[in-house]
Amino acid sequence: MRSVSAWMRKVYARHIAVWRLEADADFRKTLDKFAWAGMRLAGTFAILAATLFVLAHLVSGSTFYWSFSGFDPSLHIVLWNKVLFAGLGALLLYAAKVRLSVGPGRLLMAVFLLVVALAMILEDVQEGDVMFTAAWLTLVMVFAVGTVPFQPLQTVGLYLAILASYVLFIYIATPTPEAVPLDHLLYLGLIGILCSAMSSAIYESRYVQYHSKRRIEQMQGQLVQKEKLASLGHWTAGIAHEIKNPLNFVNNFSQLSIDIADELDEEFAVGPKDGILDNGSDIRGLIDNLKSNAHKIHEHGQRADRIVRGMLLHARGEPRAPEPADLNGLIRLGAVAARDGFRMLHPEAECGFELHLDPSITTVAVIPESIIQVVINLLDNAFYASAQVGAGGDGSAPCVEIRTQRLADAVEIRVTDFGIGMSAKAKASVFDPFFTTKPPGEGTGLGLSLAYDIITKEHGGTLTVESEEGRGTTFVVTLPVE
């Protein structure tokens, strides 16, 4: 009894309760895509089959009738149903073009299959020859499996409707009812069971495929986040230097303010006769100095706060809107951070960089921490490629060049190394997630993919690569400007 109960629960879960799976909006979107492909297939096949059928009979010299004209032993063909098939096929193609969702798509496909089945049954019954009717209906049933993703119970209902139509037309719609060929009915029943099982298996496989894809996407998202956190470590040296500057200003101006306050306190203690209080301009100057120092402290405190908030946003992966920023300054900061980070990971490697920054580039609307991350990721690859070549013939350390240039409606950033270069195959896949030419353990294959997404998706720019084996590589970033 337990095995029977378990089997029934399994049947219920796989064939009856599958509608619950479609509560997942993303899974329904996946089914929509399958439905569009299925409707295109069914529409194209219907139009092509009807056209070829008519052309074949034209070549053979058959007689054409618009509608059924009674039993005629000579070769003839009825046209109305072929035109109907082609028209329904065109309707399916239009539904696929406008991207009809899976629910209405199932209804339209069910109507198409039922009308096609009824037309085939009607023609054969009127001609008094049902020998090949079961074969035509088998084709319709198989078509239901491979096109729009019907749920298993929906497939069973469609097949029962086709079988009922077959029996109904033979018993009722003919002038002289005849017995239904039991072997044909049994055959169609077996085909219906087989196709229903196939429909159930295909539907389940689609869900498993979708679920596996989601898990892979989630794992990719986690790896991307880890890559962001790893790149945050590369920031440390450059960010520490950048934060140190405003903090130095804050400390210095704070100390100056304390000294001025002490001086004022001393003058107030001496009194107005011997002190500077008899000269209002002197005390006014001290107060102005205090105000100026307070403004400087506030300004540089905000600067440090922006840097820290940017680091936190980067670590948490929260989205941020582009804002005007000093692009050359960000590139300089990212270059220092990338160089220091590379030296920490590869202390034996000697590598430097040259900055050629276009002074006409002032502020550009970007996401500062994202641009710094792109620079770090590009330079990390450039430093690695250069280190593989080693020192030049004169013993000089390999160098990486960074250039910025203002274009007509964009800003261009070029990161060039004179390292080992890339093959054509590597160039085609360099921005794919998890693609890396580094040895196992030295690269995740996400740095360039992440940089590509930041430039193209967050900034609406482009990231391309120019490379030749043995002659180095150049990554070209373009950022649109208003």
Tell me whether residue 267 is in a domain: no
Could you give the CA distance from residue 421 to residue 467 in angstroms, rounded to a whole number? 6
Tell me whether residue 235 is in a domain: no
Residue type (1 letter), 332: R
Mean pLDDT of 418-430: 82
Mean pLDDT of 127-136: 78
pLDDT digits (tens, 9 = 90+) for 165-194: 888 877 766 555 555 677 888 888 888 888
For 248, the token pair is 């130095």
Mean pLDDT of 314-334: 75
pLDDT for position 394: 45
pLDDT band for position 121 (cuts 50, 70, 90): confident
pLDDT digits (tens, 9 = 90+) for 456-478: 888 889 999 998 887 889 999 99
CB contact at 8 A, 475 and 467: no
Mean pLDDT of 397-403: 80
User: In which domain, by residue range, is 350 found?
Assistant: 320-482
Selected residue with higher pLDDT from 419 and 306 = 419
Tell me the C-alpha to C-alpha distance, in Å, between residue 364 and each of 62, 328, 482. 74, 9, 9
Share of the chain above pLDDT 90, in %: 8
pLDDT for position 90: 93
Tell me whether residue 263 is in a domain: no
Share of the chain above pLDDT 70, in %: 71
CATH of the domain at 430: 3.30.565.10
Tell me whether residue 283 is in a domain: no
pLDDT band for position 387 (cuts 50, 70, 90): confident
Tell me the C-alpha to C-alpha distance, in Å, between residue 202 and each of 146, 148, 151, 206, 362. 9, 11, 10, 6, 58
Residues 93-103 as b/e (b if ≥16 CB within 10 A, e otherwise) read bebbeeebebe
Mean pLDDT of 308-318: 53
Selected residue with higher pLDDT from 79 and 246 = 79
Lowest-confidence pick of 45-54, 112-121, 202-211, 221-230: 221-230
Tell me whether residue 459 is in a domain: yes
**Based on the structure, what is the number of domains in the chain?**
2
Could you give the CA distance from residue 145 to residue 443 in angstroms, rounded to a whole number? 45
Give the single-character DSSP code of 423. Answer: -
pLDDT for position 174: 57
Tell me whether residue 152 is in a domain: yes
Q: Does the structure show a pLDDT above 70 at 227?
A: no
pLDDT band for position 91 (cuts 50, 70, 90): very high
pLDDT for position 5: 63
pLDDT for position 134: 83
Mean pLDDT of 224-237: 58
**Domain boundary residue among 148, 180, 212?**
180
* pTM metric for this prediction: 0.49
**Domain boundary residue among 159, 180, 201?**
180
Tell me whether residue 111 is in a domain: yes
pLDDT for position 193: 86
pLDDT for position 292: 74
Span between the terminal Cα atoms of the chain, in Å: 74
**Domain boundary residue among 180, 204, 236?**
180
Tell me whether residue 360 is in a domain: yes
Selected residue with higher pLDDT from 280 and 429 = 429
pLDDT for position 393: 44
pLDDT digits (tens, 9 = 90+) for 146-163: 788 888 788 888 888 888
